[in-house]
């Protein structure tokens, strides 16, 4: 039994090694209209001596928000996406509050940061996604 599993694994690995690699699809924010809920300010920076995108995210809504994740794109000089990274912003966000973030990234001519996902907490213990 173990020998068959190992043989199947070797065959599958060999098949994948010869396959053409196709570029991954662009990741987009899951939450439409996030721009009415959050304000973002960001720019290039450093985190532990490495390139990073640093900034502040502000909850401009009256809602209590949690589980905020950012989508950080590195862009070339023409605005094309080079890499994408999703990063958590620690903490909860009652209306009007903000948090600072620093996301390590490869060096790039430009960056774009958008809110990827968040949860809205409704008192009584319910979350809205």
CATH of the domain at 44: 2.60.40
The pLDDT, as a whole number, for residue 24 is 66
37 neighbors 59 (Cβ within 8 angstroms): yes
Summarised one tens digit per residue, pLDDT across range 28-65 is 888 888 999 999 999 999 989 999 999 999 999 999 99
Compute the distance between CA of residue 45 and CA of residue 51 in angstroms, rounded to an integer: 6
Please determine, for residue 11, whether its predicted confidence score (pLDDT) is greater than 80: no
Structurally, the chain folds into a number of domains equal to 1
* CA–CA distances in Å: residue 119 to residues 31, 82, 112, 113: 10, 28, 22, 18
The answer as to whether 98 is a domain residue is yes
- pTM value? 0.75
Residues in the chain: 129
Range of the domain at 73: 29-128
The answer as to whether 122 is a domain residue is yes
Summarised one tens digit per residue, pLDDT across range 55-99 is 999 999 999 999 999 999 999 999 999 999 999 999 999 999 999
């Amino acid at each position: 039994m173990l020998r068959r599993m190992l043989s199947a694994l070797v065959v599958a690995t060999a098949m994948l090694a010869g396959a053409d690699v196709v570029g991954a699809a662009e990741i987009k924010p899951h939450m439409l209209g996030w721009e009415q809920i959050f304000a973002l300010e960001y720019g290039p920076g450093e985190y532990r001596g490495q390139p990073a995108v640093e900034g502040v995210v502000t909850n401009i809504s009256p809602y209590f928000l949690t589980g905020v994740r950012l989508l950080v794109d590195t862009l070339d000089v023409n605005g094309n996406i080079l890499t994408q990274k999703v990063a958590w912003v620690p903490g909860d966000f009652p209306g009007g509050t903000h948090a600072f973030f620093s996301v390590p990234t490869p060096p790039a001519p430009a960056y774009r940061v958008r809110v990827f996902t968040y949860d809205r907490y409704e008192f009584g213990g319910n979350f809205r996604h």
